[in-house]
Copies of this chain bind each other. A is one copy, B any other.
């Protein structure tokens, strides 16, 4: 199996943005040293739930300070980008990293982001389709092309620089419905599975994607599926819970808020992290045990390995681990990454 990071920066304490960035980048360098094979950066805007808004700029930075780890977005929200500029930025990162870019793309799910940018969520899927068409053409054309679509018009278009990978960086798409997965197969896109699904649901999606690929092409490569999972491991289950529960609940709470429709949004997050932490400590919104059983990889190395094995049995060969949540102490994250690398990874060597 392969293991990477599904990486994000959240702003639990509003005064510490630079420290949180530094911690997250430091974790990537550490992960590379430990043998993790990729880092997948989220793109979020306008809230403390995620403050990496220019994910390709962050990957460009990482291109300079890393050597082997693959650099990926998960996901670039296509409706927010001019597809030509995105083609240029992605090709630039691919070039600067000597072909290490994977581009995860999505249509966006946060009402607040669309609203603030004055875009209609009802157009998200059509914008996604048009952007993928332009992006692919911009990366691969050998002659200038014209494009006249619903949202964008370009003339006599050629893009510099060109990506280093041929024909272009691998494209990854989050999909869950059969119809969406069929579209991935048709375009030779790869499958991202989000961190919210149970092992059973993951297994069903992988099985569908495998069958659809086999039906269309006669072949299937399990490395074309990546599954995101929150992970925290410590020597004991008790220690893991003590370290990770409150920060993860902060993440879950803000995730719930930003993905909520407008009538359920709580716009003003408390400015003081400690106040917020105490509020969660007395009003737990999520059942830690249930989440641990179903979804997240939290616990001792033995417990985590057992849940990774369940995913492997479901056909998962590649996991991206969400490790930096809710202001969790960065040294604890690094210790958890190291413990996973020494006590869990070796059991799943290819």
Chain A residues engaging chain B, CB cutoff 8 angstroms = 11, 17-18, 21, 45-48, 51-54, 56-58, 60-65, 80-82, 84-85, 88-89, 91-93, 95-96, 98, 115-118, 152-162, 164
Q: Are A154 and B89 interface neighbours, CB within 8 A?
A: no
What B residues does A156 contact at CB under 8 A? 115-116
Contact of A155 among B61, B115, B157, B158 (CB under 8 A): B115
Tell me the nearest residue of chain B to A87, going by C-beta.
B53
Chain B min CB distance to A267 (Å): 8
Q: Are A54 and B85 interface neighbours, CB within 8 A?
A: yes
What B residues does A158 contact at CB under 8 A? 46-47
Tell me the nearest residue of chain B to A82, going by C-beta.
B82
What B residues does A159 contact at CB under 8 A? 45-46, 53
In the assembled complex, 15 residue pairs joining A and B whose CB atoms fall closer than 8 Å, in A order, are A18-B98, A18-B164, A21-B95, A21-B161, A46-B160, A47-B160, A51-B160, A53-B92, A53-B160, A53-B161, A54-B92, A57-B89, A60-B61, A64-B65, A80-B85
Tell me the nearest residue of chain B to A153, going by C-beta.
B118
Given the known A-B contacts A160-B11, A161-B53, are A45 and B154 also in contact in the complex, defined by CB atoms under 8 Å? Answer: no
Docked Cα-Cα span, A85 to B161, in Å, equals: 20
Docked Cα-Cα span, A58 to B65, in Å, equals: 13
Tell me the nearest residue of chain B to A57, going by C-beta.
B60
Q: Are B161 and A51 interface neighbours, CB within 8 A?
A: yes
Q: Are A56 and B57 interface neighbours, CB within 8 A?
A: yes
**Told that A52-B92, A57-B92 touch, could you supply 16 new A-B pairs with CB distance under 8 A?**
A17-B162, A18-B98, A18-B161, A47-B158, A53-B160, A54-B56, A54-B88, A54-B91, A56-B57, A57-B89, A57-B96, A81-B85, A115-B156, A116-B156, A118-B153, A118-B155
Q: Are A96 and B162 interface neighbours, CB within 8 A?
A: no
Q: Are B160 and A95 interface neighbours, CB within 8 A?
A: no
Contact of A57 among B93, B116, B117 (CB under 8 A): B93
Chain B min CB distance to A156 (Å): 6
4 closest A-B pairs by beta carbon, nearest first, are: A64-B64, A51-B160, A53-B88, A60-B60
Among A60, A159, A161, the one with the most B-chain Cβ atoms within 10 Å of its Cβ is A60
Q: Are A154 and B118 interface neighbours, CB within 8 A?
A: yes
Chain B min CB distance to A143 (Å): 11
What B residues does A155 contact at CB under 8 A? 115-116, 118
Chain B min CB distance to A100 (Å): 12
Docked Cα-Cα span, A211 to B64, in Å, equals: 43
What B residues does A52 contact at CB under 8 A? 92
Contact of A95 among B18, B85, B91 (CB under 8 A): B18
Docked Cα-Cα span, A46 to B156, in Å, equals: 9
Q: Are B96 and A61 interface neighbours, CB within 8 A?
A: yes
Docked Cα-Cα span, A92 to B50, in Å, equals: 13
What B residues does A45 contact at CB under 8 A? 88, 159-160
Q: Are A116 and B157 interface neighbours, CB within 8 A?
A: yes
